């Protein structure tokens, strides 16, 4: 009966939330800093279409960005899991004009609005439940996505929309979290207060390792996923590494109680604690050999704060105004957490004037903040799939540069070795650096050497390498070996780098090299005297360089 009440309450709430998006007014200026513009309302393709009833607009119940997979993931309407290429989303939001819907509202371009049934939309919808029964999701570096589906247990899907495995009735899945320890992959699937730990190294055949006496209700990852901060159902915050989690441990417990949400900038964590019904505290949380260190960033009264998110140097905190009577009013706080001291902007007055009547989704789900192509954006899952705002940059500019060495020639089916070098020539560290190498067509990756501090994956097609931070003046090199195709032609290898910082010189963020695939049997045979002369010349040149090196 407890489970049924929990699900019924959530379903009723989500159904009510989605009814308002088509009539809610669009945000208008003037905008408080750091907001610079309203980019558009992100809705489904018809503005009135849903699987259950009409008119009702599909809305995002949970949205997360995965730069290492170049994906924007979301649960839509509580019943559809969808993914879209993050780079395409960012590019179109930043450069394309807004479209106009049948209702006269300014929306994002039609091809970006979600229609799970429309081919060519760019969206992949690997799981559609038809009811509001999808509650949570996570992913691994292989491109497997783990989805908690409550009554239907949990499942694993891939980036291409294929169902890898569904595990029904094994657990009433409300939360799911994935991690890796060495070559072993794990999924922790939780109910209200207990969990089960699975070995998902073979995603088509997960095996139960052990039951656990706790469940993660909020979490964040740092250090390329090797460190996790999570909040359990008793509202305590823990930090654990992959080794500890793989053994079923909870790690180290942070001081304090009533933690409600946690996020990460890739290196440190930021936690939101509710001190009372109307007061809150925001902490920076770090973990080192001496233990957990919590540093107070801000505390305040007059609000009931429930969610936070990090992106591009900002921590954004959502909540509600404390009132004695009458309707609740939304509150939103921006923190530039890389500034010294931390700069705070209270944008609550704007949000209260914008989301006066139909803000029920406010504070339920963490916001998404991302930076791409020099633009920082905020996606608030309030109406539809979200209201998209442009933000002023909160980080100092840097100058990332990529270089790529490649052979000019390779024989058919021969090996090609590439050296991909990224460097930071700016005066500030670059955060959450993403290096993307689009491999030549018809080649096979046979070896990949990853530098310290980086994590690489090929799950989405290209090789994508990420690091939480690249210091000013630092350089790192990724080396890879590919097998050329068994046909002559030209191989093109495109390399690009981005970070959450503005870049002072975008011209050196991309480079493309070409390699000719040749057939040795088709090359003309040189006369013997020419070959002898060539051999003598090479010997003389080699002898000269040996003497130079010796001296």
Tokens of 120: 């060519």
Percent of the chain at pLDDT > 90 equals 44
CB distance 263 to 285 below 8 Å = no
**Cα within 13 Å of Cα(378), Cβ side:** 28
pLDDT at 115 over 70: no
Percent of the chain at pLDDT > 70 equals 76
CB distance 440 to 408 below 8 Å = no
Q: Is residue 505 assigned to a domain?
A: yes
Worst-scoring range by mean pLDDT, 76-85, 111-120, 132-141?
Answer: 111-120
Ramachandran assignment for 309, one of left (phi > 0), alpha (psi -120 to 50 degrees), beta (any other): beta
Worst-scoring range by mean pLDDT, 38-47, 111-120, 194-203?
Answer: 111-120
- The torsion defined by the Cα of 254, 255, 260 and 264, in degrees rounded to 10, comes to -40
28 vs 101: CA distance, rounded Å: 18
Q: What is the pLDDT of residue 525?
A: 58
DSSP letter at 506?
G
Mean pLDDT, range 289-306, rounded to an integer = 83
Mean pLDDT, range 267-282, rounded to an integer = 87
Number of domains in the chain: 1
Rg (CA), the chain: 26
Strand order in the sheet with 343-346: 303-311, 314-321, 330-336, 343-346
Beta bridge pairs of residue 400: 424
Q: Sign of the C-alpha dihedral, residues 321, 313, 465, 507?
A: positive
Q: Is this structure's pTM higher than 0.85?
A: no
Three-state SS letters, 153-221: CEEEEECCCCEEEEECCCCCECEEEEEEECCEEEEEEECCCCEEEEECCCCCCCEEEEEECCCEEEEEE
Q: What is the pLDDT of residue 96?
A: 66
pLDDT at 45 over 70: no
Report the run of H or E that residue 503 belongs to, with start and end.
none
- The torsion defined by the Cα of 465, 469, 471 and 473, in degrees rounded to 10, comes to 30
Q: What is the pLDDT of residue 550?
A: 40
Mean pLDDT, range 457-472, rounded to an integer = 90
Q: Which residues contact 525 (CB under 8 A, 6 or more apart)?
A: none
Q: What is the pLDDT of residue 6?
A: 35
Q: Is residue 502 assigned to a domain?
A: yes
Q: For 476-492, write each residue's pLDDT tens digit.
A: 999 999 999 999 999 99
CA-angle at 203, arms to 197 and 206, nearest 5°: 40
Q: Is residue 291 assigned to a domain?
A: no
Worst-scoring range by mean pLDDT, 23-27, 106-110, 194-198, 498-502?
Answer: 106-110
Phi then psi dihedrals of residue 305, to 5 deg: -100, 140
Q: Which residues contact 547 (CB under 8 A, 6 or more apart)?
A: none
Phi then psi dihedrals of residue 318, to 5 deg: -110, 145
CA-angle at 250, arms to 206 and 5, nearest 5°: 70
Q: For 224-254, write each residue's pLDDT tens digit.
A: 888 999 999 899 999 999 999 999 999 999 8
Q: Is residue 44 assigned to a domain?
A: no
- Whether omega for the bond prior to residue 485 falls within 30 degrees of 0, making it cis, is no
Q: For 167-225, write each residue's pLDDT tens digit.
A: 876 778 999 999 999 899 999 999 888 999 999 999 999 999 999 999 888 999 988 88
CB distance 230 to 166 below 8 Å = no
Q: What is the pLDDT of residue 168?
A: 76
Three-state SS letters, 87-125: HHHHHHHHHCCCEECCCCCEECCHHHCECCCCCCCCCEE
Q: How confident is the model at residue 22 (pLDDT cuts 50, 70, 90)?
A: very low
Q: What is the pLDDT of residue 52?
A: 40
With tokens 């393709």, the residue in question is 45
Domain extent for 511: 400-522
Where residue 504 sits, what CATH number does that domain have?
2.60.40.1530
Mean pLDDT, range 374-378, rounded to an integer = 84
Q: How confident is the model at residue 127 (pLDDT cuts 50, 70, 90)?
A: confident
Tokens of 486: 């068994």
Report the run of H or E that residue 240 belongs to, with start and end.
strand 237-241
Q: Who has greater pLDDT, 54 or 519?
A: 519
Q: Is residue 434 assigned to a domain?
A: yes
pLDDT at 383 over 80: no
With tokens 């105004």, the residue in question is 321
How do beta strands 386-391 and 375-380 pair?
A: antiparallel
Nearest to 233 by CA among 283, 195, 272: 195
Q: Who has greater pLDDT, 252 or 541?
A: 252
Q: Which residues contact 355 (CB under 8 A, 6 or more apart)?
A: 24, 330, 362, 382
Q: Is residue 114 assigned to a domain?
A: no
CB distance 368 to 74 below 8 Å = no
């Amino acid at each position: 009966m407890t489970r049924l009440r929990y699900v019924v309450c959530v379903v009723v709430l989500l159904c009510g939330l989605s009814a308002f998006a088509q009539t809610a007014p669009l945000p208008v200026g003037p905008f408080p800093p750091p907001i610079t513009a309203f980019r558009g309302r992100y809705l489904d393709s018809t503005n009135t279409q849903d699987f259950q009833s009409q008119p009702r607009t599909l809305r995002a119940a949970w949205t997360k960005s995965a730069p290492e997979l170049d994906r924007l993931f979301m649960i839509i309407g509580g019943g559809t899991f969808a993914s879209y290429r993050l780079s395409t989303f960012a590019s179109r939001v930043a450069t394309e004009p807004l479209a106009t819907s049948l209702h006269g509202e300014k929306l994002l371009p039609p091809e970006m609005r979600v229609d799970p049934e429309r081919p060519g939309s760019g969206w992949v919808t690997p799981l559609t439940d038809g009811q509001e029964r999808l509650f949570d999701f996570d992913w691994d570096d292989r491109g497997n996505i783990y989805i908690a589906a409550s009554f239907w247990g949990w499942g694993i899907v891939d980036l291409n929309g294929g169902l890898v495995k569904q595990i029904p009735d094994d657990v009433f899945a409300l939360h799911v979290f994935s991690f890796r320890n060495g070559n072993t992959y794990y999924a922790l699937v939780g109910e209200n207060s207990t969990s089960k730990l699975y070995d998902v190294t073979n995603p088509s055949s997960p095996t139960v390792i052990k039951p656990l006496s706790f469940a993660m209700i909020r979490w964040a990852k740092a250090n390329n996923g090797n460190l996790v901060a999570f909040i359990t159902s008793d509202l305590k915050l823990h930090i654990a590494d992959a080794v500890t989690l793989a053994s079923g441990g909870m790690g180290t417990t942070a001081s304090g109680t009533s933690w409600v949400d946690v996020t990460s900038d890739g290196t440190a964590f930021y936690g939101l604690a509710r001190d009372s019904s109307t007061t809150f505290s925001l902490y920076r949380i770090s973990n080192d050999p001496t233990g957990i260190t919590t540093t107070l960033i801000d505390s305040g009264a007059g609000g009931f704060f429930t969610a936070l998110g990090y992106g591009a140097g900002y921590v954004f905190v959502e909540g509600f105004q404390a009132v004695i009577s009458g309707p609740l009013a939304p509150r939103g706080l921006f923190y530039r957490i890389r500034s010294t001291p931390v700069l705070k902007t209270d944008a609550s007055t704007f949000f209260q004037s914008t989301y006066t009547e139909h803000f029920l989704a406010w504070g339920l789900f963490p916001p998404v903040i991302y930076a791409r192509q020099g633009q920082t954006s905020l996606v608030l899952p309030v109406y539809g799939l979200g209201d998209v705002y442009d933000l002023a940059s909160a980080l100092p500019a840097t100058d990332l540069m990529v270089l790529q060495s490649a052979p000019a020639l390779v024989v058919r089916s021969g090996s090609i070795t590439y050296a991909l070098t990224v460097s930071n020539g700016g005066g500030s560290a670059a955060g959450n650096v993403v290096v993307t190498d689009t491999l030549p067509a018809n080649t096979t990756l046979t070896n990949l050497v990853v530098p310290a501090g980086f994590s690489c994956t090929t799950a989405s097609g290209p090789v994508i390498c990420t690091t939480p931070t690249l210091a000013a003046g630092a350089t790192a090199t990724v080396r890879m070996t590919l097998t050329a195709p068994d046909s002559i032609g030209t191989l093109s290898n495109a390399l690009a780098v981005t970070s959450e910082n503005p870049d002072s010189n975008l011209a050196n963020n991309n480079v493309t090299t070409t390699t000719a695939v040749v057939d040795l049997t088709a090359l003309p045979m040189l006369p013997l005297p020419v070959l002898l002369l060539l051999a003598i010349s090479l010997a003389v040149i080699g002898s000269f360089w040996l003497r130079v090196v010796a001296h």
